[in-house]
Amino acid sequence: MPLTLVGGDSASDNRTVNTLSSPWDPEIDAWCRELRAAGRPATTIRLRGAHLRTLARAVGTRPPWQLERADLVDYLGSRDWQIETRRSVRASIRGFYDWGAATGRTPVSPALSLPAVPRRPPAPHPADDDAYHQALTHAQPREHLMLRLAAEAGLRRGEVACAHSADLFRDLLGWSLVVHGKGQRERVVPVTESLAAEVRGRGQGFLFPGADHGHLSAMWVGKIIGRLLPAGVSMHALRHRFATRAFAVNENLAAVQDLLGHSSPKTTRYYVRVDSAAARRIVETMNRPAA
């Protein structure tokens, strides 16, 4: 049966969906419990669930196990997404239907042979100084600290969201911040006296209190900062700015990798924009005539 999509514009994909047709609601909840039992990070579970809820909204009242491969292809093909978003949504749909087949909810996964989405290495896109400093100028105190944690310490929006006063500590060398990263991995990032003072100024507890386990959600932090930045510049671009500036200090990619909390230097390389003047110096030096 052809799939009739509801609300096919890309803007509707970003709206929070609070109401699901009853056939989807318990199935998505059950899959999320399975992910939680497997130890998947809470941020990943929320993202996967949100992807399925958007699909549920698009198909209306049709139960999940009545969808066929053609329906899923129609849905994916109707969305105007960036490559990484498309890869992520495809992975969520694959995971959900693979689980459905494994648990006997459907005889075979209709997502088994969905078209592959090639990985396109992302280009570094650091926010420029003007964008950052203008955002700081217009920021309220809470937003000001969010911006600094992203741009001056390299934190992701989810890491900013759950930052706690207890994460800040001082050792013999200065102030540092324990960062709670992806996959429940922690890292320690040095911070300046100025940034440490601003963190201490937020008082005790979560730096940004909210309804998501006591703090703001990563999505909400991203929206707050996105409103302060120019069009086309995301909060994540501040993290790219941090990586690019950190690498420029002494071109130590391993150190930048540790600061960002990446498991692979290949990922870190996607964050670093190399100064064209540095590349020119390398070429001119290696081709300089011998004395």
Mean pLDDT by 10 residues, the chain (291 residues): 45 41 87 94 89 93 94 94 89 97 96 88 84 96 97 95 96 94 89 97 96 93 95 93 91 92 87 76 79 63
Confidence (pLDDT) at 2? 46
CA–CA dist 260, 209 (Å, integer)? 24
Domains of the chain: 10-102 (no CATH), 129-279 (1.10.443.10)
Confidence (pLDDT) at 280? 77
CA–CA dist 56, 20 (Å, integer)? 7
**Exposed / middle / buried, residue 208 (Cβ in 10 Å: 0-12, 13-18, 19+):** buried
Confidence (pLDDT) at 121? 67
Confidence (pLDDT) at 13? 40
Confidence (pLDDT) at 60? 85
Long-range CB contacts for residues 39-43, cutoff 8 Å, separation at least 24:
41/182, 41/183, 41/184, 42/213, 43/158, 43/182, 43/218
